[in-house]
Structure formats: C-alpha cells, structure tokens
A and B are shown apart, each in its own frame.
Chain A
C-alpha cells in the first residue's frame, strides 16, 4: 500500500546546525513504511529542480498517522523543504523500495547497524523495530559516523534506545576520531563481534558502504547495504537509479527504487 498525494506538514524543525526533521501526515506511510523504505517528496512548484527527492523514513507514528524524515539543507530542494510550515503541504509518494531483512532468529543474532551521515535515519527505524520486537538491547550495536559533529544524525535518538552506541567523526569533533570501519575493526580485534551470529546493516555514502562491505566480506559476515543514488521516478520505470550487481552470466543492473535500496553487499559490484 502506498500513496501519491499532498500531505500536510505537521512540524518542521531544526535539530542541528543544518539539520531538519519534517513530520508529515500520511496514514498510509505511517502504517506501512518499513525500515529501509523511502518516500519521494516534492515541494517545488516550477521545474527547478524537476524531480522529487528520495528520503528514508526516519520515524513513524501509526496511531497519529504521521511519519518523519531527516534532511540536511544543502541544495535548492532542501532549502524549499526547510521553508515549509505546519499546515503547508508536501507531495508524497511512498513508501517505496524494499526493507532491511532481519536475520533470524532475531533474538539470537548480533545486529550491527552502521550509519553514515544522513544514512542514519533508516538505521534508527531498524534499531527501534529490533528493540520493539524484543531483541536484547546489547545485541543491537549501532555505529554512527560522519565527517564532523554537525553532520552526525540521530545520535540522541539512538542513545534513547539504550543500545550500545559508538559515535565517530573524521575530525574527532564528537565521539571517536576516525571512520565507522575503524570501530568495526576495533570491535573485531577485541573479540566483541559475534562472528558466527552477526548481521551487518549499513546506510550511508557509497564510499562508506563499499568499505563496510569489504570489511564484512573479509570477515565473512553477512551484510546488507542501503545504497544512495539519484532516483528520478522512484517507481521503477526510469531505470536511472540502477545498481550494478553480479550475476552468474556476469553483471546486471537492478533498480535501487524497487529491488533496492537495500542490497546484499556481496552482490553489489563496487566501481
């Protein structure tokens, strides 16, 4: 079940220097969105930019019929989005795409969630789902990274879940200094990764996903990545969001908006 309609803005507020969270009223998205899925939003009235933009669903409030996404203001589209006030409307198509597949039996798996920058919101939705479904908090490990402290997203929300949480920034302005893979390596060296029953989930910039996928491959850990790519239609028809994957015959392209955005890291061909 998905919608394509104007939805009322419930709230739109700044959560950090350049970060906003917008809450929209859409009972369909609120009820049906799963961790990893996204919505296409459109706020522009003219043709600049022409297409909507995809945003991962961050939080859902099914009883109120609301959901929210987090965005960084960095271009024309997000500047327009930041101007939206409660009572205004935003065109919403979604929820779209697939979801992270929780490795079963979930209670016995160590779930390692790796987030980079604005890749954090869907990881939060996944962490929240895991905790709500009764996975012991100690088994939900979150590594949240960004270049600088002001680009780190959802940190306090992860903290509220009470799960083991690492913040890591490249300039050391918040949490550990380094990259998410440094934390993964540290966990592994200290024997804190339960190699036999571990599942890695990652969302963030492509370079980070590739590094996490290679770490997982090296240590033989199952890994799912949610890719970041432009998505003109989000409906599976324009084929502009294709992701190159390995096939028995060589390679093929899969649509990030339908077969993705979540892929098995082992099948993605990084180049």
Chain B
C-alpha cells in the first residue's frame, strides 16, 4: 500500500495530518482518550476558554433539529487558569497539536487571554472565537463587524507569538469582508464556519425549545452552506483555511479540501460516533490512494466546474 503524505503546513502551524476536532465537540481530549488514539489526530481545538470559569446558559441548551442540532451552551468552561493547570498537562503527553479556542467579552479580555497563553508549553496555536452566537455581549459582535474583527485580531497579534487562527461567523452578509479584515489584523489561518444562528419552536406547547431562544446550528444540515463559504473565502484570501461545518465522514472532509480548505475539523459528528475523527482520517488517506494522489495538499482547492452531461 503506497504511503500518502498527510502532513500539512498551515502558515506557521505544522500538523501531522489535516484532521482536527472542533472546539466544543471534544472537550479537553481526556474525555475521548480511552476510545480515540489522540496521537493520531492532526490537532485538538479545545473547548472555548474564557478568563474566568463560566457556568453557562440555563437548560435546555441543546435541541436536535432536522439533520442537525441547535446549541446555546453559553461557553461553560473551566477558565484559562484551570485549563493550564488541570487540562493541559494531560494533553502534553500527546503529539497532536493543541489549539486553544479563546473567547472574551472585551478587547482587553482577548488580549489578556492571548498574553496568558503565549509561551505556555504544550499550546501550539490560538483560535480566536469571535463568532460565538450564544453570548449576550462580545462573542459574535467581534466577528460580524469587520472593523471590530480587525481590531481584536491586531490587538491579540501584538500579545502572542503563537500561530493565530481566527474562527469566522457565517452570520454575515459577505463573509469575505470579515475574512479580509481578520487577515489584515494579522490572522495566520482562518477557520470556518462557526454555527448558524437559529431557533426551534414546540408547536404543541407553543414555546421555544431553547431557554436562550436562539442557538447555533451545526451538523450535516449546514454542510452545503459551510462548503460554499469556505470556497468563497479560499478565493478571497491567501492564508490557509481550516474548513468545518457538518463533516460527518471522509467524503464530506474531502469536499472541504477540494473547496479550498487545507485542513478540516470534525465537530458535531464526534457526538454521534466518538471514533469518527480517526475514520475521517483513514477515509481521506484511502480516497487519496484511490485517486492516485501522493500528498493531501495537492487536492486543496482543486474543485472544477460541473461537467455538462453532454460532454463525454
């Protein structure tokens, strides 16, 4: 069996393979370590981390929808100090990249988080969460207003030497504007998409299904939307992209690579099958062998126009 080169270089960030697990869908790695060989993953994007611990939003926080789910967890997390002292030592044992997703309500909080994590052993990159739809203030605000995106990214850029990933919100009119703003601010890599804002109503009780009314939609329902946005952004900027949004199997992942993502993140699918990330990785390798490809980077952004049926 011929060996396929899976290593990818995303700007300053090297990954042993292009399969990551998305923030908020894999905890801090330890939750899955008995079922998934973390050493095989390209990287783990840990749960959104804030300066201080957060209890999160009231229940119910999650509801299944057609081929997807809405969540409004509200960034329940242990806070950056507990992350460093309690969660990171475990992750240091593994060779996969550790990417810390950071979220703040203010510019200063983002700066403090970035400064705190700069130079901490075992942290390989930061992912700026400027797109969480479940925070009253901050969060998504930084992601939908291009000027605020540029500002927060450039401020964080000055506080860290770590590779900087900016996670884009799909809840905008033209995502390429926000993508360029993030790059202007100093983003090394873009990740997209975060969840789409939505809601669900129970007709029988005539009530919203989520305590927070709105939530972020994820899962296979959003894949065509996410795929299109990745393709758009890939044509608009030169920095590498981590594509995500409804990836349920290797074929979905390959589609994101073809659309222009240099790496992919598996999210909601981790809830369905704890081992799905490894299955996606193996499936991509198999696809590349079947296609006669030797290096995963060779297929990035190679999607071509639809071929009319008449052309044989």
* Chain A residues packing against B (C-beta within 8 Å): 1-2, 4, 42, 47-52, 91, 93, 229-230, 232-233, 235-244, 251-253, 258
Contacts and interface: CB of A to CB of B under 8 A. Distances in A.
B275 interface: yes
Given A237-B25, A237-B26, A240-B62, A50 B274 contact: no
Given A239-B56, A239-B61, A242-B59, A51 B274 contact: no
Interface of B: 24-27, 31-32, 34-35, 47, 55-56, 58-64, 66-69, 71, 73, 76, 219-221, 248, 268, 270-275
Given A47-B219, A237-B32, A239-B56, A232 B62 contact: yes
Contact of A232 (B35, B56, B64, B76): B64
B76 A233 contact: no
Contacts of A1: 34
Nearest to A47: B67
Contacts of B71: 238, 240
A240 B219 CA distance: 15
Contact of B219 (A50, A52, A251): A50
B69 A232 contact: yes
A42 B272 contact: yes
Given A50-B272, A52-B272, A237-B270, 6 more contacts: A2-B34, A48-B67, A50-B220, A232-B64, A240-B61, A242-B76
25 contacts: A1-B34, A4-B273, A42-B272, A42-B273, A48-B66, A50-B64, A50-B268, A51-B64, A51-B271, A52-B272, A91-B273, A93-B35, A229-B59, A237-B25, A237-B31, A237-B32, A237-B47, A237-B270, A237-B271, A240-B61, A240-B71, A242-B59, A244-B58, A253-B55, A253-B59
A70 B274 CA distance: 24
A236 B63 CA distance: 16
Given A48-B66, A239-B61, A233 B270 contact: yes
Contacts of A240: 61-62, 69, 71, 73
B109 to A, nearest CB: 21
A117 B76 CA distance: 32
Given A239-B73, A242-B76, A253-B55, A232 B271 contact: yes
A252 B79 CA distance: 14
A230 B34 contact: no
Given A47-B67, A48-B67, A242 B56 contact: yes
Contacts of B271: 51, 232-233, 235, 237-238
B35 A4 contact: yes
A253 B211 CA distance: 14
Contacts of B67: 47-48, 50
Contacts of B272: 42, 50-52
Contact of A238 (B25, B55, B59, B68): B25
Nearest to A256: B59
A238 B62 contact: yes
A43 B37 CA distance: 25
Interface centre among A2, A50, A251 (most CB of B within 10 A): A50
Contacts of A236: 27, 31
Contacts of B64: 49-51, 230, 232
B32 A235 contact: yes
B303 to A, nearest CB: 24
Nearest to A236: B31
A91 B276 CA distance: 13
Contacts of B76: 239, 242, 253
B64 to A, nearest CB: 6
A218 to B, nearest CB: 25
Contacts of B248: 47
Closest 7 CB pairs of A and B: A240-B62, A237-B27, A233-B271, A47-B67, A236-B31, A232-B271, A4-B274
Nearest to A243: B59
Contacts of A241: 62
A252 B77 CA distance: 11
A1 B35 CA distance: 10
Given A2-B34, A47-B67, A240-B71, A235 B27 contact: yes
B69 A47 contact: no
Contacts of B273: 4, 42, 91
A49 B221 CA distance: 12
Contacts of B31: 235-237, 258
